[in-house]
Structure 1
Amino acid sequence: MLKHFDREDLNQLWTLVKETLSIRQATSDKEKELWVELKRLYEPDVEDQLWTQTQALMHDPVEWRLYDSCGVHHVLSRDQEIFMLVERDYPLRKGLAIVMISNKLQVENYSQMANDLILKIHKIANSSRQRDD
């Protein structure tokens, strides 16, 4: 789905969802899922279960893809997935960053965005943080 989005589409979707759900509560599971995923994408919370517990469950093999049309990268394991904006810093664990680097970023076309993203994840993988290993 993200292949067909550009960044402006994604930003408009986030704005629309925020406006709609400020007027009324989400009623369907799909609306709730969309809200959660977009909120994680645009307003990451270090206390969120995604960052505190889920990453520990993501082991090799994973797929790591970049959707450069909208500036989103996606990490997918058998039963877990994380969407992230390229330019944002998220509380990725060193172990997951190592798995991501090991499995290589999948891109349709090489770009500076892809190179910058690889360098950012490589820096996390090589960090000396001990709290999350």
Structure 2
Amino acid sequence: MSPYFKANMNVEALQTKYPIIDWEIYTEGARKYWKIIRVGNHTEVYQFFDDMLKAFDREDLVKPLSIIKEKFTSTEPTKDKEREIWVELKRLFEQDTDDELWKLQKHIHDITWRLGVLTQLLVAKLLVEQDCEMLRELLKKIFMQVERPRR
């Protein structure tokens, strides 16, 4: 076995991903966290949803959404951290036209699209003006060459 292949095997073994199997609210003093529990009792805690998003990929988010949906089909989230994770995960996966975040996102998308089109138009105009200026300079040089007395 080549050393390169052996090194790749070791790296892959270290990058083993443990699937999420459960979650709970974890309290430490006055702070509350989401405790994410993975297979083999590997746990991670997050105080902010943004931090969780940075550490998770899509597969990581799908499983908590299904676990949370299952839990809250029969009961309502009562704790702030429960409501927060429920709302944030739903926002990521389920479009709701009444949700302020979705409205804002659509508005930002529209503005971004318009700015993109305007930028392209402006660039095209500047390129045309630049090409016209270069053409004028080239024509000026040609006329100067033509008008110059020959020896």
Question: TM class, shorter-chain normalised?
Answer: 0.3 to 0.5
Higher relative contact order structure (alpha carbons within 8 Å, sequence separation ≥ 6): 1
Provide the TM-score with structure 1 as the length reference.
0.41
